[in-house]
């Protein structure tokens, strides 16, 4: 029996796992329950051999408007937000996930709606959407590894402008600074993500995992170290292929 969630939807189709924030009446405002459900569903997708790519998106015409301030008054919800798996472990699990990950930001994205997205391999946004990181206005600090990941995407000055300025930008500016990788018309973020994911899901999962591992290593190491690592990974891949040929013969 498939597991039921209360604030997200989970589906695997055509080798793509799609996780959908599903509080449209709250414009997908984030809660502790939502975070833990996303983490659980993401773990399922990582462990499922049928899922070769993972997409996170939102229901309705909004991706996520940030934390639902009403739930902060609830002790259990507040504890899940501050001490749950999602805040503490999601960014690293996502960044190092062997499968390609996509965030289809299908509308306005605010606060945690952005910081949860920066660890994804690809972010697709829409032209008219608003993007904002208003933590400073709320007396809060951004999490999810945004202090490391956001400057890597947009540069230090743009990261500081987004976080310290707490202003709002639109799709074209988000694209220009690198906050999103692709900008599409309203209603097309998910379909675009699925097209990209479907292409990657058609390739050898082992090759995809090693290629992603190689890129992640190269970002954090020197050219010489990266060349050495590429050789090691190629040796591992060739050994696996030789072993597979041996079993087949």
Query: Is the separation of the CB atoms in 57 and 103 below 8 Å?
Result: yes
Q: Are residues 104 and 138 in the same domain?
A: yes
pLDDT tens-digit profile of 13-38?
A: 999 999 999 999 999 999 999 999 99
Q: Are residues 214 and 182 in the same domain?
A: no
Number of domains into which the chain is organized: 2
Residue 2 lies in a domain: no
Q: Are residues 227 and 116 in the same domain?
A: no
Q: Is 230 exposed, middle or buried (0-12, 13-18, 19+ CB in 10 A)?
A: middle
Q: Which residues pair with 109 in a beta bridge?
A: 64, 131
Residue 175 lies in a domain: yes
Dist. CA 23–CA 213, nearest whole Å: 34
Give the domain CATH number at 17: 3.90.226.10
Q: Are residues 212 and 194 in the same domain?
A: no
Q: Are residues 43 and 128 in the same domain?
A: yes
Residue 86 lies in a domain: yes
Host domain of residue 221: 205-248
Q: Are residues 40 and 120 in the same domain?
A: yes
Dist. CA 71–CA 130, nearest whole Å: 23
In the chain (249 residues long), the average pLDDT of successive 10-residue segments reads 84 97 97 97 97 97 94 90 93 97 97 97 97 91 93 96 94 97 97 98 95 95 97 94 79
Q: Are residues 73 and 32 in the same domain?
A: yes
């Amino acid at each position: 029996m498939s597991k039921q969630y209360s604030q997200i939807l989970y589906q695997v189709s055509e080798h793509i796992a799609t996780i959908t924030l599903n509080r449209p009446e709250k414009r997908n405002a984030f809660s502790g329950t939502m975070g833990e459900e996303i983490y659980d569903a993401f773990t399922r997708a990582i462990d499922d051999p049928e899922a070769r790519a993972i997409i996170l998106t939102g229901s309705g015409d909004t991706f996520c408007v940030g934390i639902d301030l009403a739930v902060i008054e609830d002790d259990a919800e507040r504890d899940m937000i501050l001490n749950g798996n999602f805040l503490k472990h999601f960014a690293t699990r996502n960044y190092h996930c062997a499968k390609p990950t996509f965030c289809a930001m299908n509308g306005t994205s605010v606060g945690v709606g952005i910081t949860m997205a920066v660890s994804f391999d690809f972010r697709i946004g829409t032209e008219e959407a608003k993007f904002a990181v208003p933590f400073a206005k709320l007396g809060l600090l951004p999490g999810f590894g945004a202090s490391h990941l956001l400057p890597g995407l947009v540069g230090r000055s743009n990261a500081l402008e987004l976080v310290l300025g707490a202003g709002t930008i639109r799709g074209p500016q988000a694209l220009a600074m690198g906050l999103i990788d692709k900008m599409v018309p309203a209603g097309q973020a998910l379909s675009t993500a699925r097209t990209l994911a479907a292409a990657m899901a058609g390739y050898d999962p082992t090759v995809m995992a090693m290629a992603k591992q190689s890129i992640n290593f190269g970002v954090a190491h020197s050219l010489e170290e990266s060349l050495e690592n590429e050789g090691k990974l190629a040796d591992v891949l060739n050994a696996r292929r030789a072993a597979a040929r041996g079993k087949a013969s």
